[in-house]
Amino acid sequence: MFKRVVITGIGAVTPVGNNLDEFWNNLTGGVSGVGTISRFDTTGYSSKIAAEVKNFNPTDFIDRKEARRMDRFTHYALAATAMAVENAGLDVSKINGDRAGVILGSGVGGIETLEEQHRVLAERGPGRVSPFFIPMMISNMASGRIAINYGLRGCNVTTTSACASSANALGDAFKVIQHGQADIMISGGTEAPITPLAVAGFCSMKALSTRNDDPAGASRPFDTGRDGFVIAEGAVILVLEEMEHALARGAEILAEITGYGASCDAYHITAPDPVGTGAVLSMRLALDDAGLAPEEVDYINAHGTSTSLGDKLETLAIKEVFGIHAKNLAVSSTKSMTGHLLGAAGGLETAVCVLAIKKSVIPPTINLTHPDPDCDLDYVPNVARRADVAVALTNSFGFGGHNATLVIERFVAERNK
Protein backbone atom coordinates (compact mmCIF):
# COMPACT_ATOMS: atom_id res chain seq x y z
CA MET A 1 0.00 0.00 0.00
CA PHE A 2 1.47 3.35 -1.02
CA LYS A 3 2.01 6.02 1.62
CA ARG A 4 0.23 9.35 1.33
CA VAL A 5 2.42 12.43 0.91
CA VAL A 6 1.48 15.82 2.29
CA ILE A 7 3.01 19.30 2.20
CA THR A 8 3.55 20.91 5.59
CA GLY A 9 5.88 23.85 4.91
CA ILE A 10 6.88 26.35 2.23
CA GLY A 11 9.77 28.83 2.09
CA ALA A 12 10.27 31.39 -0.66
CA VAL A 13 13.01 33.71 -1.89
CA THR A 14 11.65 35.19 -5.11
CA PRO A 15 11.54 38.31 -7.29
CA VAL A 16 8.13 39.15 -5.78
CA GLY A 17 8.97 38.53 -2.13
CA ASN A 18 11.43 36.98 0.28
CA ASN A 19 8.90 35.45 2.63
CA LEU A 20 5.71 33.51 2.10
CA ASP A 21 3.24 36.30 2.90
CA GLU A 22 4.96 38.87 0.71
CA PHE A 23 5.29 36.34 -2.10
CA TRP A 24 1.59 35.43 -2.03
CA ASN A 25 0.28 38.95 -1.52
CA ASN A 26 2.25 40.26 -4.49
CA LEU A 27 1.21 37.38 -6.73
CA THR A 28 -2.46 37.79 -5.93
CA GLY A 29 -2.05 41.56 -6.22
CA GLY A 30 -0.70 41.26 -9.76
CA VAL A 31 2.67 42.80 -8.86
CA SER A 32 5.51 42.30 -11.34
CA GLY A 33 8.98 41.48 -10.06
CA VAL A 34 10.67 42.37 -13.36
CA GLY A 35 13.02 45.34 -13.71
CA THR A 36 16.20 46.51 -15.39
CA ILE A 37 19.19 44.27 -14.63
CA SER A 38 21.29 45.74 -11.81
CA ARG A 39 23.93 43.00 -11.43
CA PHE A 40 26.11 43.91 -14.41
CA ASP A 41 26.50 46.33 -17.29
CA THR A 42 24.07 45.30 -20.05
CA THR A 43 25.65 47.39 -22.80
CA GLY A 44 25.48 45.33 -25.99
CA TYR A 45 22.82 42.95 -24.65
CA SER A 46 19.58 42.67 -26.58
CA SER A 47 17.69 41.96 -23.34
CA LYS A 48 18.43 44.23 -20.39
CA ILE A 49 15.70 43.07 -18.02
CA ALA A 50 15.30 40.32 -15.43
CA ALA A 51 13.32 39.39 -12.34
CA GLU A 52 15.98 39.77 -9.66
CA VAL A 53 15.66 38.88 -5.98
CA LYS A 54 15.73 42.16 -4.07
CA ASN A 55 16.74 43.16 -0.53
CA PHE A 56 18.12 39.73 0.27
CA ASN A 57 20.94 39.34 2.79
CA PRO A 58 22.32 35.78 3.03
CA THR A 59 23.79 36.45 6.47
CA ASP A 60 20.28 36.70 7.86
CA PHE A 61 20.28 32.91 7.44
CA ILE A 62 23.92 31.80 7.07
CA ASP A 63 27.12 32.43 9.01
CA ARG A 64 29.08 35.19 7.24
CA LYS A 65 32.23 33.10 6.78
CA GLU A 66 30.30 30.15 5.40
CA ALA A 67 28.24 32.40 3.12
CA ARG A 68 31.47 33.52 1.39
CA ARG A 69 32.08 29.87 0.51
CA MET A 70 28.74 29.42 -1.26
CA ASP A 71 27.31 30.48 -4.57
CA ARG A 72 24.20 32.64 -4.66
CA PHE A 73 22.01 29.67 -5.65
CA THR A 74 22.97 27.94 -2.39
CA HIS A 75 22.26 31.11 -0.39
CA TYR A 76 18.75 31.16 -1.79
CA ALA A 77 18.19 27.47 -1.12
CA LEU A 78 19.35 27.60 2.50
CA ALA A 79 17.26 30.69 3.22
CA ALA A 80 14.13 29.18 1.65
CA THR A 81 14.73 25.91 3.52
CA ALA A 82 15.04 27.71 6.87
CA MET A 83 11.69 29.41 6.20
CA ALA A 84 10.06 26.16 5.04
CA VAL A 85 11.22 24.26 8.12
CA GLU A 86 9.90 27.05 10.35
CA ASN A 87 6.62 27.19 8.41
CA ALA A 88 6.25 23.43 8.92
CA GLY A 89 6.84 23.73 12.65
CA LEU A 90 9.49 21.07 12.25
CA ASP A 91 11.91 20.44 15.10
CA VAL A 92 14.73 18.76 13.21
CA SER A 93 16.38 17.65 16.46
CA LYS A 94 13.45 15.28 16.96
CA ILE A 95 13.34 13.62 13.55
CA ASN A 96 15.11 10.48 12.44
CA GLY A 97 17.81 11.77 10.10
CA ASP A 98 18.08 8.36 8.44
CA ARG A 99 14.46 8.78 7.30
CA ALA A 100 14.80 12.32 5.96
CA GLY A 101 16.41 13.54 2.74
CA VAL A 102 16.71 16.26 0.14
CA ILE A 103 15.94 16.37 -3.58
CA LEU A 104 16.38 19.75 -5.25
CA GLY A 105 16.23 20.94 -8.83
CA SER A 106 18.67 23.39 -10.40
CA GLY A 107 19.28 23.97 -14.06
CA VAL A 108 22.64 25.78 -14.02
CA GLY A 109 23.87 25.56 -10.41
CA GLY A 110 26.74 27.86 -9.48
CA ILE A 111 27.23 29.61 -12.80
CA GLU A 112 28.06 32.91 -11.09
CA THR A 113 30.99 31.25 -9.32
CA LEU A 114 32.09 29.60 -12.56
CA GLU A 115 32.25 32.96 -14.33
CA GLU A 116 34.05 34.67 -11.44
CA GLN A 117 36.70 31.97 -11.10
CA HIS A 118 37.28 31.82 -14.84
CA ARG A 119 38.10 35.54 -14.68
CA VAL A 120 40.53 34.82 -11.83
CA LEU A 121 42.19 32.09 -13.89
CA ALA A 122 42.49 34.32 -16.96
CA GLU A 123 43.75 37.38 -15.11
CA ARG A 124 45.80 35.95 -12.22
CA GLY A 125 46.64 32.35 -13.10
CA PRO A 126 45.68 28.88 -11.84
CA GLY A 127 47.28 29.32 -8.43
CA ARG A 128 44.74 31.98 -7.52
CA VAL A 129 41.62 29.96 -8.28
CA SER A 130 39.68 29.46 -5.04
CA PRO A 131 39.94 26.05 -3.34
CA PHE A 132 36.19 26.42 -2.81
CA PHE A 133 35.52 26.86 -6.54
CA ILE A 134 34.31 23.31 -7.21
CA PRO A 135 32.16 22.88 -4.06
CA MET A 136 30.65 26.32 -4.68
CA MET A 137 29.86 25.67 -8.34
CA ILE A 138 28.57 22.10 -8.57
CA SER A 139 24.79 21.97 -8.74
CA ASN A 140 24.34 19.36 -6.00
CA MET A 141 25.92 21.57 -3.34
CA ALA A 142 22.67 23.28 -2.30
CA SER A 143 21.10 19.92 -1.46
CA GLY A 144 24.31 18.82 0.23
CA ARG A 145 24.45 21.95 2.37
CA ILE A 146 20.83 21.54 3.45
CA ALA A 147 21.54 17.96 4.54
CA ILE A 148 24.64 19.05 6.45
CA ASN A 149 22.78 21.87 8.22
CA TYR A 150 19.88 19.68 9.34
CA GLY A 151 21.47 16.24 9.71
CA LEU A 152 19.41 14.65 6.94
CA ARG A 153 21.11 11.38 6.04
CA GLY A 154 18.53 9.91 3.66
CA CYS A 155 18.26 10.17 -0.12
CA ASN A 156 20.05 13.27 -1.40
CA VAL A 157 19.88 14.08 -5.11
CA THR A 158 19.94 17.08 -7.41
CA THR A 159 17.81 16.91 -10.53
CA THR A 160 18.87 18.77 -13.66
CA SER A 161 16.29 18.72 -16.43
CA ALA A 162 16.41 22.38 -17.48
CA CYS A 163 13.16 24.19 -16.64
CA ALA A 164 11.52 20.98 -15.43
CA SER A 165 14.23 20.40 -12.79
CA SER A 166 12.37 21.24 -9.59
CA ALA A 167 9.09 19.72 -10.75
CA ASN A 168 11.02 16.51 -11.37
CA ALA A 169 12.69 16.92 -7.97
CA LEU A 170 9.36 17.24 -6.21
CA GLY A 171 7.96 14.30 -8.14
CA ASP A 172 10.93 12.15 -7.21
CA ALA A 173 10.73 13.22 -3.54
CA PHE A 174 7.02 12.38 -3.59
CA LYS A 175 7.82 8.89 -4.85
CA VAL A 176 10.55 8.32 -2.24
CA ILE A 177 8.03 8.94 0.55
CA GLN A 178 5.18 7.19 -1.24
CA HIS A 179 7.27 4.02 -1.47
CA GLY A 180 8.12 4.12 2.24
CA GLN A 181 11.78 5.07 1.92
CA ALA A 182 11.55 8.32 3.92
CA ASP A 183 9.26 10.16 6.32
CA ILE A 184 10.37 13.67 5.35
CA MET A 185 11.86 15.13 2.19
CA ILE A 186 13.01 18.69 1.64
CA SER A 187 12.37 19.48 -2.01
CA GLY A 188 11.93 22.27 -4.53
CA GLY A 189 14.35 24.28 -6.61
CA THR A 190 16.95 27.01 -6.61
CA GLU A 191 18.52 29.08 -9.35
CA ALA A 192 20.77 32.14 -9.71
CA PRO A 193 21.31 32.58 -13.47
CA ILE A 194 21.31 36.38 -13.81
CA THR A 195 24.97 36.56 -14.83
CA PRO A 196 26.74 38.08 -17.85
CA LEU A 197 27.43 34.77 -19.57
CA ALA A 198 24.06 33.14 -18.92
CA VAL A 199 22.07 36.16 -20.07
CA ALA A 200 24.30 36.52 -23.12
CA GLY A 201 23.67 32.90 -24.01
CA PHE A 202 19.92 33.26 -23.80
CA CYS A 203 20.12 36.52 -25.76
CA SER A 204 22.06 34.76 -28.52
CA MET A 205 19.29 32.17 -28.70
CA LYS A 206 16.76 35.02 -29.04
CA ALA A 207 14.85 33.40 -26.17
CA LEU A 208 14.49 36.51 -23.98
CA SER A 209 12.05 39.39 -24.17
CA THR A 210 13.56 42.61 -25.49
CA ARG A 211 10.79 44.84 -24.15
CA ASN A 212 13.47 46.80 -22.30
CA ASP A 213 11.45 50.01 -22.08
CA ASP A 214 8.62 48.25 -20.23
CA PRO A 215 10.10 45.66 -17.84
CA ALA A 216 6.92 45.12 -15.83
CA GLY A 217 5.01 44.44 -19.06
CA ALA A 218 7.62 42.20 -20.66
CA SER A 219 6.42 38.80 -19.47
CA ARG A 220 3.02 38.40 -21.12
CA PRO A 221 2.02 34.76 -21.54
CA PHE A 222 -0.76 34.00 -24.02
CA ASP A 223 -0.75 37.61 -25.29
CA THR A 224 -0.13 38.48 -28.95
CA GLY A 225 2.62 40.87 -27.83
CA ARG A 226 4.77 38.21 -26.17
CA ASP A 227 8.33 38.12 -27.46
CA GLY A 228 10.23 35.78 -25.17
CA PHE A 229 10.65 34.94 -21.51
CA VAL A 230 12.15 37.06 -18.73
CA ILE A 231 15.02 35.39 -16.88
CA ALA A 232 14.58 35.20 -13.10
CA GLU A 233 16.17 33.82 -9.94
CA GLY A 234 15.31 32.56 -6.48
CA ALA A 235 14.37 29.44 -4.55
CA VAL A 236 11.16 27.88 -3.31
CA ILE A 237 11.44 24.91 -0.97
CA LEU A 238 8.67 22.64 0.31
CA VAL A 239 8.59 20.21 3.20
CA LEU A 240 7.03 16.91 2.12
CA GLU A 241 5.99 14.39 4.76
CA GLU A 242 4.40 11.00 5.00
CA MET A 243 0.86 11.73 6.17
CA GLU A 244 0.92 9.69 9.39
CA HIS A 245 4.25 11.25 10.36
CA ALA A 246 2.82 14.73 9.90
CA LEU A 247 -0.35 13.95 11.82
CA ALA A 248 1.59 12.34 14.67
CA ARG A 249 3.52 15.52 15.31
CA GLY A 250 0.44 17.73 14.99
CA ALA A 251 1.58 19.50 11.82
CA GLU A 252 -0.74 21.72 9.82
CA ILE A 253 -1.21 20.01 6.46
CA LEU A 254 -1.34 22.53 3.62
CA ALA A 255 -2.16 20.15 0.77
CA GLU A 256 -1.40 16.70 -0.60
CA ILE A 257 0.64 15.59 -3.62
CA THR A 258 -1.28 12.83 -5.36
CA GLY A 259 0.17 12.55 -8.86
CA TYR A 260 3.36 12.92 -10.88
CA GLY A 261 3.99 12.48 -14.56
CA ALA A 262 7.22 12.88 -16.52
CA SER A 263 7.96 12.51 -20.22
CA CYS A 264 10.24 13.65 -23.02
CA ASP A 265 9.29 15.13 -26.39
CA ALA A 266 12.25 13.31 -28.00
CA TYR A 267 12.07 15.98 -30.66
CA HIS A 268 14.50 18.95 -30.46
CA ILE A 269 17.10 20.50 -28.15
CA THR A 270 15.06 23.65 -27.51
CA ALA A 271 11.81 23.70 -29.51
CA PRO A 272 8.73 21.96 -28.12
CA ASP A 273 7.07 19.14 -30.01
CA PRO A 274 4.84 20.81 -32.62
CA VAL A 275 1.71 18.97 -31.51
CA GLY A 276 2.49 18.86 -27.77
CA THR A 277 2.83 15.08 -27.57
CA GLY A 278 5.19 15.09 -24.59
CA ALA A 279 3.15 17.62 -22.66
CA VAL A 280 0.01 15.60 -23.23
CA LEU A 281 1.71 12.43 -22.01
CA SER A 282 3.08 14.16 -18.89
CA MET A 283 -0.35 15.48 -17.87
CA ARG A 284 -2.08 12.16 -18.55
CA LEU A 285 0.51 10.23 -16.55
CA ALA A 286 0.07 12.63 -13.60
CA LEU A 287 -3.72 12.32 -13.68
CA ASP A 288 -3.50 8.54 -13.92
CA ASP A 289 -1.06 8.47 -11.01
CA ALA A 290 -3.49 10.56 -8.94
CA GLY A 291 -6.45 8.41 -9.95
CA LEU A 292 -8.30 11.45 -11.25
CA ALA A 293 -10.47 12.11 -14.26
CA PRO A 294 -9.65 15.30 -16.21
CA GLU A 295 -12.93 16.96 -15.21
CA GLU A 296 -11.92 16.80 -11.54
CA VAL A 297 -9.17 19.40 -12.02
CA ASP A 298 -10.09 22.99 -11.09
CA TYR A 299 -6.91 24.95 -11.82
CA ILE A 300 -3.74 24.63 -13.88
CA ASN A 301 -0.65 26.67 -13.17
CA ALA A 302 0.71 26.70 -16.70
CA HIS A 303 4.34 26.57 -17.72
CA GLY A 304 3.37 29.68 -19.71
CA THR A 305 6.77 31.27 -20.32
CA SER A 306 5.66 34.02 -22.75
CA THR A 307 7.26 32.43 -25.79
CA SER A 308 5.45 32.29 -29.10
CA LEU A 309 5.53 28.52 -29.62
CA GLY A 310 5.47 27.37 -26.02
CA ASP A 311 2.26 29.11 -24.93
CA LYS A 312 0.39 28.01 -28.03
CA LEU A 313 1.46 24.38 -27.73
CA GLU A 314 0.70 24.19 -24.01
CA THR A 315 -2.80 25.45 -24.79
CA LEU A 316 -3.12 22.78 -27.48
CA ALA A 317 -1.94 20.08 -25.07
CA ILE A 318 -4.39 21.17 -22.35
CA LYS A 319 -7.24 20.95 -24.85
CA GLU A 320 -6.12 17.48 -25.90
CA VAL A 321 -5.98 16.19 -22.32
CA PHE A 322 -9.05 17.90 -20.90
CA GLY A 323 -11.35 17.97 -23.91
CA ILE A 324 -14.53 19.94 -23.34
CA HIS A 325 -13.53 20.53 -19.68
CA ALA A 326 -10.60 22.69 -20.86
CA LYS A 327 -13.03 25.58 -21.29
CA ASN A 328 -14.12 25.24 -17.64
CA LEU A 329 -10.60 25.26 -16.23
CA ALA A 330 -8.92 28.28 -14.72
CA VAL A 331 -5.40 28.47 -16.15
CA SER A 332 -2.83 31.08 -15.17
CA SER A 333 0.85 31.76 -15.63
CA THR A 334 2.48 33.33 -12.61
CA LYS A 335 5.63 33.77 -14.72
CA SER A 336 3.89 36.93 -15.92
CA MET A 337 4.91 38.32 -12.51
CA THR A 338 7.88 36.26 -11.33
CA GLY A 339 9.64 35.82 -14.65
CA HIS A 340 11.08 32.40 -15.39
CA LEU A 341 13.16 30.89 -12.58
CA LEU A 342 14.42 28.14 -14.94
CA GLY A 343 15.16 25.08 -12.79
CA ALA A 344 13.42 26.59 -9.75
CA ALA A 345 10.18 27.40 -11.59
CA GLY A 346 8.46 24.11 -10.79
CA GLY A 347 9.03 24.51 -7.06
CA LEU A 348 7.63 28.02 -7.11
CA GLU A 349 4.60 27.02 -9.14
CA THR A 350 3.86 23.99 -6.98
CA ALA A 351 3.78 26.35 -4.01
CA VAL A 352 1.34 28.55 -5.94
CA CYS A 353 -0.97 25.56 -6.40
CA VAL A 354 -0.79 24.73 -2.68
CA LEU A 355 -1.63 28.30 -1.73
CA ALA A 356 -4.42 28.57 -4.32
CA ILE A 357 -6.03 25.53 -2.68
CA LYS A 358 -5.40 26.79 0.86
CA LYS A 359 -6.45 30.40 0.27
CA SER A 360 -9.20 29.83 -2.34
CA VAL A 361 -7.61 32.42 -4.62
CA ILE A 362 -6.19 31.93 -8.12
CA PRO A 363 -3.37 34.35 -9.05
CA PRO A 364 -3.78 36.09 -12.40
CA THR A 365 -1.91 36.13 -15.66
CA ILE A 366 -0.96 39.80 -15.85
CA ASN A 367 -0.18 41.75 -19.04
CA LEU A 368 -2.85 39.80 -20.92
CA THR A 369 -4.29 42.73 -22.89
CA HIS A 370 -4.47 41.28 -26.42
CA PRO A 371 -5.19 37.54 -26.14
CA ASP A 372 -3.72 35.34 -28.83
CA PRO A 373 -6.60 33.71 -30.76
CA ASP A 374 -4.67 30.43 -30.62
CA CYS A 375 -4.60 30.72 -26.82
CA ASP A 376 -8.30 30.65 -26.07
CA LEU A 377 -8.65 29.26 -22.56
CA ASP A 378 -9.56 31.05 -19.33
CA TYR A 379 -6.20 32.47 -18.26
CA VAL A 380 -7.55 34.50 -15.29
CA PRO A 381 -6.54 37.74 -17.00
CA ASN A 382 -4.93 40.53 -14.97
CA VAL A 383 -6.92 40.20 -11.72
CA ALA A 384 -6.83 37.41 -9.11
CA ARG A 385 -10.01 35.38 -8.69
CA ARG A 386 -11.71 33.95 -5.63
CA ALA A 387 -12.40 30.30 -6.34
CA ASP A 388 -12.85 26.99 -4.58
CA VAL A 389 -9.84 24.96 -5.73
CA ALA A 390 -9.82 21.32 -4.66
CA VAL A 391 -7.46 19.97 -7.35
CA ALA A 392 -4.63 21.84 -9.05
CA LEU A 393 -2.13 20.76 -11.65
CA THR A 394 1.19 22.38 -12.53
CA ASN A 395 3.24 21.93 -15.70
CA SER A 396 6.98 22.41 -16.22
CA PHE A 397 8.63 21.94 -19.61
CA GLY A 398 12.36 22.25 -20.29
CA PHE A 399 14.95 22.46 -23.06
CA GLY A 400 15.81 18.98 -24.23
CA GLY A 401 12.11 18.11 -24.32
CA HIS A 402 11.75 17.41 -20.59
CA ASN A 403 8.19 17.56 -19.25
CA ALA A 404 6.94 17.21 -15.68
CA THR A 405 3.46 17.55 -14.20
CA LEU A 406 2.36 17.44 -10.58
CA VAL A 407 -1.14 17.08 -9.14
CA ILE A 408 -1.87 18.84 -5.84
CA GLU A 409 -5.11 18.22 -3.94
CA ARG A 410 -6.84 19.65 -0.91
CA PHE A 411 -6.06 17.41 2.05
CA VAL A 412 -8.87 15.23 3.36
CA ALA A 413 -8.29 12.64 6.06
CA GLU A 414 -10.09 9.84 4.23
CA ARG A 415 -9.46 9.45 0.51
CA ASN A 416 -11.25 6.70 -1.39
CA LYS A 417 -8.76 5.90 -4.13
Cβ count within 10 A of residue 148: 12
Instruction: Measure Cα distances from 82 to 14, 92, 100, 364, 397 in Å.
Output: 15, 11, 15, 28, 28
What are φ and ψ of residue 336, in 5° steps? -60, -20
Is 163 annotated as catalytic? yes
Q: Where are the alpha helices (DSSP H) in 291-376?
A: 308-322, 335-338, 345-359
Q: Which of 155, 163, 353, 375 is catalytic?
A: 163
Q: What is the C-alpha separation between 36 and 48, in angstroms, rounded?
A: 6
∠ CA 119-143-353, rounded to 5°:
110
Instruction: Measure Cα distances from 191 to 13, 56, 100 in Å.
Output: 10, 14, 23
Cβ-contact 82, 11 below 8 angstroms: yes
Sign of the C-alpha dihedral computed for residues 357, 50, 15 and 62 taken in this order:
positive
Beta-carbon contacts of residue 327 (< 8 Å; ≥ 6 apart): 377, 378
Q: What is the C-alpha separation between 237 and 166, in angstroms, rounded?
A: 9
Give the bridge partners for 13, in sequence order.
235
The SS3 of residue 213 is coil
Q: Which residues are catalytic?
A: 163
